[in-house]
């Protein structure tokens, strides 16, 4: 078992790339069936979604478009007050949108993203997230339609998820090992 040590933190393997690929394949099948003939727009939320979005789009066989957005905050961190959504680049008026997220945690960023895309005139908005932390949610969502894995409050890295900007490139997902584990 490969343990990764970063600063004073230790991480152990949590979700393998094989597990991720299998789950993405199933999500892709579901989206292909549901959106057949409907031409959805996939909007990936950077930076964390890039690996998930790339693998997901390989499983999408319906006609669709995609773009990426980035959230800008007043303090420069995800925990800061979100100031704007940058980079939509497509006309979303009367379009069906699928937001692609790496992880939905508190839901603050997701709520902001949904509100911003509604203001762009999206006809409908569904959410596809690799990871969901239900116990951390501070908002209610009725449009989180596709979830790769539900996890607890684990601090995770790899497969697009980072620690201070590092370790997004890991193929698997690792979780922090706390004392006593």
Q: Is the pLDDT of residue 1 over 70?
A: no
- Predicted pLDDT at 80: 53
Q: What are phi and psi of 58, to 5 degrees?
A: -70, -20
Res 84: pLDDT: 76
When mean pLDDT is compared over 22-26, 73-77, 177-181, the highest value belongs to: 22-26
| Residue 72 confidence (pLDDT) | 76
> Which among 30, 55, 105, 181 is annotated as catalytic?
105
So where are the chain's domains? Answer: 12-153
CA gap 82, 9 in Å, rounded? 28
The fold for domain 12-153 equals: Rossmann fold (3.40.50)
Which two structure tokens, joined as six digits, stand for 67? Answer: 């773009």
Percent of the chain with pLDDT over 90: 86
128 pLDDT higher than 70: yes
Q: What's the length of the chain?
A: 181
What digits encode the pLDDT tens for the residues 40-94?
999 999 999 999 999 999 999 999 999 999 987 654 444 556 667 888 889 999 9
Q: Which two tokens stand for residue 77?
A: 């961190």
Is-catalytic flag, 30? no
Percent of the chain at pLDDT > 70 equals 92
């Amino acid at each position: 078992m490969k343990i990764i040590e970063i600063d004073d933190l230790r991480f152990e393997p949590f979700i393998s790339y094989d597990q991720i690929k299998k789950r993405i394949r199933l999500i892709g099948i579901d989206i292909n069936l549901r959106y057949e003939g409907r031409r959805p727009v996939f909007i990936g939320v950077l930076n964390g979604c890039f690996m998930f979005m790339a693998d997901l789009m390989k499983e999408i066989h319906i006609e669709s478009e995609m773009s990426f957005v980035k959230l800008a905050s007043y303090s420069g961190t995800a925990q800061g007050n979100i100031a704007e959504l940058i980079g939509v680049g497509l006309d979303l008026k009367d379009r069906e949108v699928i937001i692609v997220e790496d992880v939905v945690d508190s839901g603050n960023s997701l709520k902001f993203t949904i509100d911003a895309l509604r203001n762009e005139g999206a006809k409908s908005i569904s959410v596809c997230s690799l990871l969901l932390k239900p116990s951390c949610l501070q908002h209610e969502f009725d449009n989180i339609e596709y979830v790769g894995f539900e996890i607890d409050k684990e601090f995770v890295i790899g497969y697009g998820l980072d620690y201070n900007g590092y370790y997004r490139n890991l193929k698997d997902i690792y979780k922090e090992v706390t004392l006593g584990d």
